[in-house]
Structure 1
């Protein structure tokens, strides 16, 4: 039976990054849906509502990039140990 690897500060930093990305994704989707609904109810111009779409897209792309970066870092650290 192998021993569990001790958690390093680098591991904690990666977990914080993933947690931050997950929060950004969740809050982005909730706000985007809410603003789409409010914009439709209040008759906001399409240009204004489209800005929310662009902002949501940018936030989700950022979260995707962070998630990919963390995945590559974890993979690289496992390869360095092996």
Structure 2
């Protein structure tokens, strides 16, 4: 890949990651509101907390990998 193609691919991965993070945050808040309105148990709410935490952890690792791929090209 040439430099500009690689920058485009890295930018695309970054945008996808940003949408995943934003979507997870919105979904998490929505689930918290729905769960509070419907009286879901703490155990059920904890499951969604852990699921969101897993996505955010994966996003952190993915962001680091995107950043490192830019460092390797320099």
Scaled by the length of structure 2, what TM-score is found?
Answer: 0.89
Scaled by the length of structure 1, what TM-score is found?
Answer: 0.81
Which aligned runs of 4 or more in structure 1 are off by greater than 4 angstroms? none
| Residues in 1 aligned to 2:13 and 2:54: alpha-carbon distance in whole angstroms | 17
| Residues in 2 aligned to 1:32 and 1:21: alpha-carbon distance in whole angstroms | 16
Question: Can you give the 5+ residue segments of structure 1 that lack an aligned partner in the other structure?
Answer: 1-5
Q: Hey, which of these two has a bigger chunk of helix by percent?
A: 2
Q: How large is the RMSD of aligned CA atoms in angstroms?
A: 1.4
Name the structure 1 match of 2:44: 48
Name the structure 1 match of 2:14: 18
Q: 1:21-40 residue pairs with structure 2 within 5 A?
A: 21-40=17-36
Q: What are the Cα deviations for residues 27-52 of structure 1, in whole angstroms up to 9, with x where unaligned?
A: 00011011011101110111111111
Shift of the 17–27 alpha-carbon distance from structure 1 to 2, 3 Å rule, reads same
Larger Rg: 1
CA shift at 1:7, angstroms? 5.5
Query: Higher relative contact order by CA 8 Å / sep ≥ 6: 1 or 2?
Result: 2
Question: Can you give the 5+ residue segments of structure 2 that lack an aligned partner in the other structure?
Answer: none
> Paired residues, what number?
73
